[in-house]
Amino acid sequence: MTIHNIYIFNKNGNLLYYHEWNRIKQTGMTRDEEAKLMYGMLFSIKSFVNKISPTDPKEGFLYYKTSKYTLHYFETLTGLKFVLTTDNNAQLVRELLQQIYNQVYVEYVVKNPLISLSEPIESEIFKIKLDALIRQSSIFISKAA
Amino acid sequence: MVIYTIYVVSKSGGLIFNHDHTISKIENEKTFSYPLDLKLKYENKRIIVEFGQRDGIRPGHVLYAVNGKEVTNCQIDDGQDVFEVLENKDQYPLTLKFGRPKMTTNEKIFLASMFYPLFAIASQLSPEPKCSGIEILEADTFKLYCFQTLTGVKMMAVADKNQSGVELLLKKIYELYADYALKNPFYSLEMPIRCELFETNLKSVLDVVEKSGVSSI
């Protein structure tokens, strides 16, 4: 099992944070363009899910799976979006995303008055804590190790 | 366990077949007094609930009827403007019927062609090489399965989250497509499938899967 990368978007679709752990293939475009493409896809999936759903959705889109990876999506009520890609066997990724929001984002970004909430996150402590949380989770086993 | 809808999308992204298997109608009729405790707005040629939620009526639901008379666009059947009626205190109490918007054929075609780029982008954004497009997409109310054949035709099924064996069902539908659509001399590729045999066989397969699982097909 492995975790590939994480994207954090704010409600306007700006990329706040990106980090990768085990990413083998790059898209060949700049990070900025890639983030726009990713956000555009998620935005479309959200409206697609809303329309195609047989009953009234509450949380809406949860994840999608391809032959090689799974993309997990978690959106807070304030419109903050956490996107984590893992391999197809990963379990309980939703709980991990919630932990990232509760224990890392709220603690080290929201509670830090020096960080503007609409700017990309540069905080060193946020990066360290996020990395630590991901690395100690049971989903994260590096392929190199 | 339920299978809601089946879609078949051609290589170029057009919807060539769709079948609604089980679609539950969500409709609520309620009597309201003045003033209305829901906020309504006119959008895309229908009146939808913008804010407010009660008795099963939720934001996004469409106003279908006022006092039993159907609403088309912004007008009631007898020619009155809906918003004028709703704002007029003397007309109350009013019986309003709300429901989840039904998908029109146009919307289905639109959605099917919308899935095509999503499928492609998912494979482009992959962190691993040689990745396929979306195979399963899960939301809290349903699970969408997509099976792409070697020739690029996509078989899609919207099913209940607990329905098992949908992947095998899609392969079976591919088999039916090959047998009854492609072998039909009056069927031309990439065009909508209007073959009776295909449809009847598909229906019976769906019924069998819902009742006794995939192992029995």
Interface test with A, best of B15, B100, B140 (most A CBs within 10 A): B140
Distance CA B97, CA B31 (A): 9
Question: What is the pTM (predicted TM-score) of this model?
Answer: 0.90
pLDDT at A144: 46
Interface test with B, best of A66, A67, A87, A88 (most B CBs within 10 A): A66
Tens of pLDDT, residues A73-87: 999 999 999 999 999
Q: Mean pLDDT, to the nearest integer, of A113-128?
A: 93
Nearest residue of B to residue A65, measured between CA atoms: B136
At residue B173, the 3 state secondary structure works out as: helix
B214 pLDDT exceeds 90? no
Q: How far is CA B111 from the centre of its chain?
A: 9
Shortest CB distance from B126 goes to which of A20, A25, A45?
A25
Query: In the structure, what pLDDT confidence band is assigned to residue A145 with cuts at 50, 70 and 90?
Result: very low
pLDDT at B10: 94
- Tell me if chain B has a CB within 8 Å of the CB of A61: yes
At residue A32, the 3 state secondary structure works out as: helix
Q: DSSP character for A136?
A: H
Q: Are A39 and A32 in contact (CB under 8 A)?
A: no
